[in-house]
Copies of this chain bind each other. A is one copy, B any other.
Amino acid sequence: MPKELPIFTPPKPTPIFEKIGIVGLGLIGGSIALKSRELWPSSLVVAVDNKDVLETAMRMHAIDVAADDLIVLAEVDLVILAAPVKQNVALLAELDDHVRTPAVVTDVGSTKREIVDAARALPPRFTFVGGHPLAGAARGGLENARPDLFAGRPWLLTRSAETVPQQKLESFVRALGAEPKVVGVDAHDRLLAFLSHLPQLTASALMEVVGEAVGADGLSLAGRGLADTTRLAASPADIWRDIVATNADQIGAALDLLIERLQELRKDLPNGERLTEVFDAAAAWRNQISR
């Protein structure tokens, strides 16, 4: 009789954080929770949101511990603020009262200057590293969360003075499938004003103007061009009010450039020289975006 062969068990990856606290279970917070549970069965995923959301999260097996109060965060070693931007800023001030242990604190918001400023007031047992996963989906909300949301996507991080927490957070987001990339705080907010905030405002303004002008009958004739150009306009106003308010100067500068360009095209419609220049440059840039 042959000797029994040992059964191969793949080693469980060592958890990077023991207790992961996530405040706000939307598309991003929910996807972090799902992927963390998949990667590190021995880590605890602790979530704070309202009762309805927590029930959904429990049904999705996305979290281990749920509460509608920050008190559950007492012993976490990673805090992820995943609420809208201004709520994240407000939450920072409450951490000292609730999180009793040293912890890395990060966020996932679309602007960084305001929260990095506010984080300077945190007590020294916390290290704040701002974060921003550049991952999204056509629809937001926990119900659209999925563990592979971050696969291959950049995850921008600000630089803290503390090397070890910084490296731990980089390892964490890399484990989630993302590619961590450290950027300056000001550079982040300027870059995102152009890559994300300006396209969002443009898509929403365009959709509102077109809808009001042609109505439902006219829209019934819309083709893929209008559909693509206005896809972002389905985004809810509440998240965007916070983003825009905390990056108003950079978004304003970006909007000024777009308004100026549209005015130039406007003046030159019958002639089309400026149109040719802008279209040629735009086509060249567009071909550098893969999808």
Q: How far is the CA of A213 from the CA of B282 in the complex (A)?
A: 12
Docked CA distance A194–B215 (Å)? 11
Among B201, B235, B266, B271, the residue within 8 A (CB) of A283 is B235
- Check if A96 is an interface residue, CB within 8 A of chain B: no
Q: For the complex, give the distance between the alpha carbons of A149 and B45 in Å.
A: 50
**Does A6 count as interface, using CB distance less than 8 angstroms?**
no
Q: Cα distance A283–B82 when bound, in Å?
A: 23
A249 CB to closest chain B CB, in angstroms?
A: 8
Q: Contacting chain B: which of A49-57, A68-76, A115-123, A204-212?
A: A204-212
Q: A198–B206 contact, CB under 8 A?
A: yes
Interface pair A275/B241, CB less than 8 Å apart: yes
Within the complex, what minimum Cβ distance (angstroms) separates A245 from chain B?
A: 5
- A214 to B232 alpha-carbon distance, docked (Å): 20
Report if A218 contacts B (CB, 8 A): yes
Q: Min CB distance, A266 to chain B, in Å? A: 5
A48 vs B60: C-alpha distance when bound (angstroms)? 60
Most chain B CB within 10 A, of A191, A214, A258, A282, is at A282
Chain B residue nearest to A221 (CB atoms) is B154
Contact A269 B244 (CB under 8 A): yes
Cβ A262 vs Cβ B202 within 8 A = yes
Give complex CA distance A210, B199 in Å: 9
Distance in Å from the Cβ of A231 to the closest Cβ of chain B?
Answer: 5
Q: Is the interface of A mostly helix, strand, loop or mixed?
A: helix
Number of interface residues of A (CB under 8 A): 87
Which residues of chain A from 228 to 281 have any CB-CB distance to chain B below 8 Å in the complex?
228-237, 240-241, 244-245, 248, 251-252, 254-259, 261-263, 265-266, 269-272, 275-276, 278-281
Do B219 and A196 have beta carbons less than 8 Å apart? Answer: no
Is the CB of A3 closer than 8 A to any CB of chain B? Answer: no
- Contact present for A228 and B232 (CB under 8 Å): yes
**With A213-B254, A256-B266 given, can you name 9 additional A-B contacts, CB distance below 8 Å?**
A136-B224, A153-B223, A194-B214, A199-B206, A203-B229, A211-B282, A233-B286, A237-B275, A244-B272
Interchain residue pairs with CB less than 8 A apart (26): A136-B224, A136-B225, A156-B221, A194-B209, A194-B218, A195-B214, A198-B210, A199-B210, A199-B229, A201-B275, A202-B229, A204-B278, A204-B279, A206-B258, A211-B281, A211-B288, A213-B257, A220-B288, A227-B289, A227-B290, A227-B291, A229-B230, A233-B285, A233-B286, A251-B269, A252-B266
The chain A residues found within 8 Å of chain B, CB to CB, are 134-136, 153-154, 156, 181, 191, 194-196, 198-214, 216, 218-237, 240-241, 244-245, 248, 251-252, 254-259, 261-263, 265-266, 269-272, 275-276, 278-291
* 6 closest cross-chain pairs (CB), A and B: A211-B285, A237-B279, A248-B269, A207-B282, A241-B272, A204-B282
